[in-house]
Amino acid sequence: MSDNIKIAIRKLKPGDLDSYLYWNHPSREFHKYNGPYYEKKSVQEIEEIVSGWRIRMIEGEEDVLKNKKMIVDAISNELIGQVNWYWKSKETNWMEVGIVIFNENYWGKGIGFDVLRMWINQIFSERAEFVRIGLTTWSGNERMMRLSEKLGMKKEAVYRKARIVNGKYYDSVSYGILREEWDTINRD
């Protein structure tokens, strides 16, 4: 692992909820990079979402986020961020992944590469029907573009001037990797 930080990917737990609220406050720095072209949720909206998760957990639901997992420091159990996957086209098994490191104390430590590699490995091993995994970002997020390329993903599409951030246009950039490419790159 990077910078001697041992990380884990796991389900959201009841003990994470206050920390999740803290790190997802609308004023957090990560919002400038993680889809800043989408409308942000207010503090009240985030509190309502987390309150709903809390109720569902109390009622016994074990995985309130389904296709999202928390990134945690495996030693301290501190929340670092989250990974997710979502359908681009369920009919053709086309899905995409995402990652956000919302805890700024862990930025610049190479965690994104380690986590996304673990996450993609997990998805491919759990879902035999997936033949490809995609990742879409924006041209203002240079770190995410570099991360995608470092993972061996190919730039597959650029949608010019498709995102507006602070009154300026940026491109939407899509990357992808096929299972056989991933398997070749990640042989142990």
Looking at residue 176, its pLDDT comes to 97
| CB 99 within 8 Å of CB 115 | yes
pLDDT in tens, 70-117: 999 999 999 999 999 999 999 998 999 999 999 999 999 999 999 999
Q: Specify the amino acid at residue 135.
A: L
For the chain, what is the largest distance between any 2 Cα atoms, rounded to a whole number of angstroms? Answer: 46
Q: Specify the amino acid at residue 104.
A: E
Sheet order of strands, 79-89 included: 7-10, 68-73, 79-89, 94-101, 132-138, 168-178, 154-165
| CB 112 within 8 Å of CB 147 | yes
Closest-CA residue to 70 (of 56, 58, 53)? 53
φ, ψ for residue 21 (rounded to 5)? -60, -45
More confident position, 186 or 30 = 30
Q: Which two tokens stand for residue 1?
A: 């692992």
Q: Specify the amino acid at residue 172.
A: S
Average pLDDT, rounded, for the chain: 93
Looking at residue 188, its pLDDT comes to 53
Show the domain range for 33: 2-185
pLDDT in tens, 11-63: 999 999 999 999 999 999 998 889 889 888 999 999 999 999 999 999 999 99
CATH number at residue 129: 3.40.630.30
Distances (CA, A) of 166 to 100, 138, 156, 170: 20, 13, 26, 10
- What is the rounded radius of gyration, in angstroms, for the C-alpha atoms of the chain? 17
Q: Which two tokens stand for residue 124?
A: 């491919």
The total of structural domains in the chain comes to 1
Separation of alpha carbons 2 and 39, rounded Å = 33
pLDDT in tens, 144-153: 999 999 999 9
